[in-house]
Amino acid sequence: MAKIKVAKTAGFCFGVDRAVKLVYSEIEKGNKNVATLGPIIHNADVVSDLKSKGVRIVDSVSELKNGETAVIRSHGVGREIYTQLEEKGNPYIDATCPFVARIHKIVREKTNEGYFILIAGDKNHPEVQGIVGHCDENCFVFKDEFDLKEFFSKKYKKTEKKLAIVAQTTYNILIWGECIKVVPHDDENILVFDTICNATSQRQSDAALLSKEVDAMVVVGGKNSSNTIKLYNVCCENCPSYHIENASELYRLDLNNADKIGITAGASTPAYIIKEVQNTMEEIFDFEKELEQSFKKVHTGERVKGYIAAVNNSEAIVDIGTKHTGYVPLAELTDDQTKKPADVVSVGDEVDLIVTKINDQEGIVMLSKKKVDELLGFDNITKAKEEETVLDGTVISVVKGGILVSVDGVRVFVPASQTGLGRDKSLDELLKKNVQLKVIEVNESRRRAVGSIKAVTKAQKEAAKAAFWESAEEGKTYKGEVKSLTSYGAFVDLGGIDGMVHISELSWSRIKHPNQVVKPGDILEVYIKELDKEAGRISLGYKKAEDNPWVKFEADYKVGDVVKATIVSITPFGAFAKIIEGVDGLIHISQIADKRVDNVNEVLSVGQEVDVKITEIDLDAKRISISIRALLENTADAEETDAE
């Protein structure tokens, strides 16, 4: 809608306002015999209102009825009119504007002082005729600088008088400026009185200012009002302008192409008429806007703004400012299948949409928010590629050769090789998961983007590695996952870095393979035994001191103790027997029985439980000697003693 602005000063000036009020107050006093000498102002509406209240308009004093109160209007009159009124005996109200009366005084005084009077103005205007009427035929009226130039070239010398120059109060200030240039400056016999009313000049300069900032001006005032005509001329210099008397004329004006319209008004235009013009203009534009909106066409593919009018479980209903009802189905609101329309938009939201389908007959328009999001999102995708930014997205589907990830409404294809999933894994595992990716390829013309999740995890791993080496030190403990096993140890992932736990470090017991203690996927608490930052090698420890069976053994056992032990292995020179978990003792072949044994297997077998006596402990060498024979000898000694 066009913007409408009213000039700072527009309408009734002080003099006109005073004159009109004087007439109305006379009527209010009950005087029914009032006549104005000419229309009180050049405004048909005010004049007709006064007429309806019984106020007559007469052209001359002779037309006045006996006793009728005459009103001299703001323009003022010549001296002979006052004389006529006095002679006829009619009472009168002098509504001459004080600024006009000042000009009367100047010209009278200067005439008496022997000056010749020059009057800038329109000789047919009542105000100028009134001024002339105070000059005793001692004057010349000029309309512009050309008239004045001619006066100086042809008539000035003949007057052989000093000159006093005045101007009609509503004289055009621009022309007045040109006239002043024509006046000889160094002639002290020439006096110039700037009698242009400030109200007029102010109104004109405000109108000039406003007309420069708008596309069209509407000047309101009587068709005969000279100050309105001058205002109109001032405005015409800056933009297309229209002179109207009241709001009813607005409908014929061509203001369609104007975005900003200014209003000004002549001195005789009452405030209520200006207001009426302003209001009517606003109504016209409102109506035109509504009309234009209701006929506004939309096209498939067009981008429009809309307001969410309602939301249900399957769609959002949108007002796009036309006669159509707009619908955005859920699938066109978002790619995220977990969301409902209310999760995406709310009633009252302003949204950017793209028209996807129009049904004029049913007055329905189908729209898509997702497509706009895609357009905007694609700019972000392009930027992210340039800046190598990590983007967040949701995996929306598994397609041939990879997955599609929705990032800010844009579908980014991630090839299977870039998902970071092992070949044995199914891509379905990623469905609906939130992932981070880097854009590795963009085709702007086809609006396609390729991303890589692996690039992010790789970068994250490298960052984790750097952080690990930064803080790693011997003795520091970590929780890590067993990644793989070999015959000599287990590899443990410490968060991007693999360390190895040697088989001897996996258990205090003697084991043949790490799988006797751990398996891939187990989480172990390990500590760094040895660190070689340069070679990037880490040896990990897993056994804990508090679990050391030798410490327990030392605390609980001594030489001479008789214990139960389980045969765990047999060798040609004896058998190893487990005393406690992690501590085995050796029964030398000579200590198996109280007679000679040639083959250990003939006497003992693995898993057999035997009573043994601890005969020697070497903690440093972690060697324990145990003996069955010692017990047998003890028994034989005891039996011999009993027999004696």
Residues that bind ligand F3S (CB under 6 A): 13-16, 74, 97, 99-100, 169-170, 197, 199-200, 267
Smallest separation (angstroms) from ligand F3S to the CB of 280: 26
Tell me how far, at minimum, the Cβ of 105 lies from ligand F3S, in Å: 14
Question: Among residues 187 and 194, whose Cβ is nearest to ligand F3S?
Answer: 194
Structure tokens belonging to residue 600:
């250990």
- CB 268 to ligand F3S: min, Å: 9
Nearer to ligand F3S, 99 or 285 (CB): 99
CB environment 399-414: b (16+ within 10 A), e (fewer): eeebbbbbbbbbbbbb
CA 506, CA 522: separation in Å to the nearest integer? Answer: 13
Q: Assess contact for 16 and 222: CB atoms under 8 A.
A: no
**Residue ranges with strand state E in 360-409:** 364-368, 390-399, 402-407
Least distance from C-beta 352 to ligand F3S, angstroms? 54
Closest CA to 396 of 381, 382, 410, 383: 410
Cβ 185 to ligand F3S shortest distance, Å: 27
- Residues 69 and 92 sit within 8 Å (Cβ to Cβ): yes
CA distance 291 to 322: 10
| 390, amino acid identity | V
Q: Which residues pair with 352 in a beta bridge?
A: 305
The CA distance from 241 to 308, in Å, is 41
Q: Shortest distance, CB of residue 143 to ligand F3S, whole angstroms?
A: 19
Q: How far is 580 from 551, CA to CA, in rounded Å?
A: 11
Q: Which of 113, 107, 66, 71 is nearest to 90 (CA)?
A: 66
3-class SS of residue 500: strand
Order of strands across the sheet that contains 69-72: 56-58, 34-37, 69-72, 92-94
Q: How far apart are CA 161 and CA 629, in angstroms?
A: 166
190 touches 160 (CB < 8 A): no
Our CB check for ligand F3S shows the closer of 197 and 579 to be 197
Of the pair 111, 269, the CB lying nearest ligand F3S is at 269
Is there a contact between 263 and 246 (Cβ–Cβ < 8 Å)?
Answer: no
Closest to ligand F3S by CB, 97 or 132: 97
* Shorter beta-carbon distance to ligand F3S: residue 75 or 324: 75
Q: Which lies closer to ligand F3S via its Cβ, residue 229 or residue 439?
A: 229
Residue 498 and residue 208: Cα distance in Å, rounded?
A: 84
26, 86, 113, 127: the active-site residue: 127
**Minimum distance between the CB of residue 287 and ligand F3S, rounded to whole angstroms?**
36
To the query of whether residue 87 is one of the catalytic residues in this protein, the response is no
- Cβ 440 vs Cβ 413: under 8 Å: no
CB of 351 to ligand F3S, least distance (A): 55
- Nearest position to ligand F3S, beta carbon: 15
- 207 or 600, CB closer to ligand F3S? 207
Closest by CA to 542, choosing from 567, 505, 515, is 505
Contact 16, 74 (CB under 8 A): yes
Active-site positions? 127
